[in-house]
Amino acid sequence: MALSLVTIPCLADNYAFLFGNPDTKEAVLFDVPEAGPINEAVAKSGWKLRTVVLTHHHWDHIDGLDGLENCDTLQIIGAKADAHRLPPLDHAVSDGDRIQLCGEEAQIIDVSGHTIGHIAIYLPESGYAVTADSLMAMGCGRLFEGTAAQMWDSLQKLRALPAETIVCSGHEYTTGNAKFALSLEPNNSQLISRSEAIAAKRARGEPTVPSVLADECATNPFLRADDPVLQDAIGMTGSAAAEVFAEVRARKDRF
């Protein structure tokens, strides 16, 4: 049976993701921006939280860990490459590893770029990818540690997942990301339509995360660096995709 998802707003604009197995009532949490909303969500779900997966070392993804209920009994999983700056890990993982989470096999994908050692977790049976600050709704994470070439490589890994994959990204940045995308292609009808849908959701107080990978592939400029239409729009027709990505990322940093 597919895992069930609870999306948990935290801090000003972060998200944590709680997945539960409807049969066993076992749960796994991805990232811990703050403990209060997560403890409340776990209690409301009726699930038993047993595992926490940390995608990367930034404070707004790990600082709530010590405040979780029964934190001493939880299995903590994170990247081996990032272990020196994560809380103590019970299980360190690397790109290509396969682990069991709530009875489902999960695949570990290195998505370095935002940070070195950032991981994404793909749950093929349930159809989810937890991408945190790598691939984001309508955007991607700022390059604090990695290079543009690294991030472009990471995003291509995620783009290759099935189109119906549900992308669980770490922040409510979608409105600003959509405005930036439209600044590159103001006449793109798909962008206009998605931007209007995003605005309507936010007007209703609804999150724009998770999103569907097919929508990201169609409208997220950071996944379209090899798209001739986008290349033409920014005056880089025929340029190498990694160079186009670097230019788009630089423009977003200045936006």
Q: Is 58 a catalytic site residue?
A: yes
| Two tokens, residue 58 | 């930034």
Give Cα separations from 233 to 136, 159, 175, 185 (angstroms).
Answer: 22, 21, 21, 6
Of 58, 82, 110, 118, the active-site residue reads 58
* pLDDT confidence of residue 200: 97
* Spatial separation of the C-alpha atoms in residues 255 and 180, rounded to whole Å: 7
Of 31, 60, 82, 110, the active-site residue reads 60
Give Cα separations from 43 to 25, 26, 54 (angstroms).
Answer: 12, 13, 21
* pLDDT confidence of residue 165: 98
What are the residue ranges in the chain where pLDDT is below 70? Answer: 1
Q: Is 57 a catalytic site residue?
A: no
Give Cα separations from 185 to 65, 158, 200, 234 (angstroms).
Answer: 41, 23, 21, 8
Q: Is 91 a catalytic site residue?
A: no
Task: Detail the residues annotated as belonging to a binding site.
Answer: 56, 58, 60-61, 114, 133, 171
Q: Is 61 a catalytic site residue?
A: yes
Q: Is 118 a catalytic site residue?
A: no
* Spatial separation of the C-alpha atoms in residues 50 and 90, rounded to whole Å: 12
pTM reported for the whole predicted model: 0.96
* Spatial separation of the C-alpha atoms in residues 208 and 13, rounded to whole Å: 11
Task: Detail the residues annotated as belonging to a binding site for Zn(2+).
Answer: 56, 58, 60-61, 114, 133, 171
* Spatial separation of the C-alpha atoms in residues 56 and 128, rounded to whole Å: 18
Q: Which amino acid is at 74?
A: L
* pLDDT confidence of residue 69: 94
* Spatial separation of the C-alpha atoms in residues 226 and 223, rounded to whole Å: 8
* pLDDT confidence of residue 178: 98
Of 31, 57, 110, 114, the active-site residue reads 114
Distance of CA 47 to the CA centre of its chain: 23
Of 31, 82, 110, 133, the active-site residue reads 133
The continuous run of DSSP H or E covering 188 comes out as: none
Q: What angle do CA 230, 211, 190 make, to 5 degrees?
A: 35
Q: Is 253 a catalytic site residue?
A: no
* pLDDT confidence of residue 98: 98
Q: Specify the residue for token string 């995360």.
A: 209
What are the extents of the domains in the chain?
A: 4-169, 178-207+217-254
Architecture of domain 4-169: 4-Layer Sandwich (3.60)
Which residues, including other chains, have CB under 8 Å from residue 155's CB and lie 6 or more apart?
Answer: 111, 113, 134, 135, 140, 222, 223, 245
* pLDDT confidence of residue 102: 96
Q: Is 84 a catalytic site residue?
A: no
- Cis amide linkage into residue 210, ω under 30° from 0: yes
